Amino acid sequence: MRTLLLLTACSLAAQQPAYDLLLKGGHVIDPKNNISKVMDVAIAGGKIARVDENIPADQAKVVAPVSGLYVTPGLIDIHVHVYTGTALRATATKADSSVQPDAFSFRTGVTTMVDAGTSGWRNFPDFRDGVIRKAKTRVLAMLNIVGAGMGSGSGENNPEDMDPEAAAKMAKENADVVVGFKSAHYAGPGWFSIDNAVKAGNLANVPVMVDFGAITKERNLDGLLRDKLRKGDIYTHCYSGHRLEVLADNKVNPAMEAGRQRGIFFDVGFGQASFYWYVAAPAYEQKFYPDSISTDLHARSMNAGMKDMLQCMSKILNLGSSLEDVIRMSTVNPAREIKRPQLGTLDPGAEADIAVLRLDRGDFGLLDSAGAKYPGNRLLASEMTIRKGEVVWDLNGRAAPDWKNFPYKRRGELR
């Protein structure tokens, strides 16, 4: 009898589908593994189980037809502002422009966000407990070198609130979440913000992202990129024009090329006022391409020229990068910049974070931060987003059962 039960159990197990979800017939782009072809992607237990051609549909509990679409690793936006909604944050500043991460991530194919300096070491625990741990989106953080972060009463210009030792201690105690430091908006004298951020980065062995703030004769792009920043640090807002990234003769500033040769990464960081066609177009003509695409998402940028991650990617696509390179700039490259090589990939065994994208063709007007229009003929849109194997955005119900077969729970019946 025991043998019979065991055989029956084995037979039932053999009949169970091996995969929870199968994305069938899409064009897979996985830059880390140099894949760009029509393949299927199978998911089981929240992980990538298999990427292969012609995986049988009967091996999956749910099959999502994605023919004609692009299947990529979940997008990584390494410059956002999402520290909002906590009591401490509400009382700290009247100018809070952060947005709630889950409200904006999945509908744009983004599965990982990096908050870039909204919190510092003093208020990071509140951000961690009130936002990061509650979000479905993977939220990581770069700590502002100013202890109170962007909510500081004195802005980000106070050297007395720049404590690299305390910042590094907080980063090391939260190494699962903190991926770097941010120096931003500094308009005081000297190099205090940069020097302290780099010191903290050395102590914690993480990169520094720089929003350079106001330049002066002493504190300029040349000194920053040739001397102050280290290999692996990140210069965001690379097409802003605010720091003479492109000179008056439309030539890329030689400091930018020197920084690239030193191993500094260049990030888009579109934002409210940090991406202009008069900078990006000549830079592209001279083959100065970004390493990573990011939004600088906040309440004042999301409804302006920036809009969202896919719009930013579409602008880089229409400037001349291939779709494969645009996906690279939005997945494996930012993962490398924040030292998270397990992200931005469809490796079997990796957490199943996936974006399913549609590429529309037509006549589109693409805006920069000034509201100036650049003509484009390709525009990316999000069809489906998967986080940890769960479908969290499904624009056209590709993974959903037909309503006629859905096991509804009837409501409104008399008791």
Q: How confident is the model at residue 65, as a pLDDT?
A: 98
What secondary structure does DSSP assign to 284-300, as a single string?
HHTT---SB----B-TT
Structural domain that includes position 212: 74-351
pLDDT at position 5: 46
Residue 185 domain-assigned (yes or no): yes
- pLDDT at position 395 over 80: yes
Name which residue leads in pLDDT, 326 or 405.
Answer: 326
User: What is the mean pLDDT of the segment spanning 326-333?
Assistant: 98
**% of the chain beyond a pLDDT of 70:** 94
Please indicate, yes or no, if residue 119 is contained in any of the structural domains.
Answer: yes
| Separation of alpha carbons 46 and 49, rounded Å | 9
How many domains does the structure of the chain reveal? 1
In a domain, 56, yes or no: no
Backbone angles phi, psi at 233, to 5 degrees: -75, 165
Is residue 286 assigned to a domain? Answer: yes
| 104, 236, 240, 242 from 219: Cα distances, Å | 36, 17, 17, 13
pLDDT band at 14, cuts 50/70/90?
low
Work out the pLDDT band at 87, boundaries 50, 70, 90.
confident
Q: Given a cut of 70, is residue 403 above it in pLDDT?
A: yes
Residue 124 has pLDDT above 80, yes or no: yes
Asked if residue 10 is part of any domain, the answer here is no
Tell me if 252 sits within 8 A of 283, measured CB to CB: yes
Q: What percent of the chain has pLDDT over 90?
A: 86
Task: Kindly state whether residue 372 falls inside one of the protein's structural domains.
Answer: no
| Mean pLDDT calculated for residue range 359-372 | 98
Is 290 part of any domain?
yes
pLDDT tens across 63-79, in order?
999 999 999 999 999 99
Taking CA atoms, 257 is separated from 140, 166, 375, in Å, by 29, 34, 28
User: Residue 88: which CATH number?
Assistant: 3.20.20.140
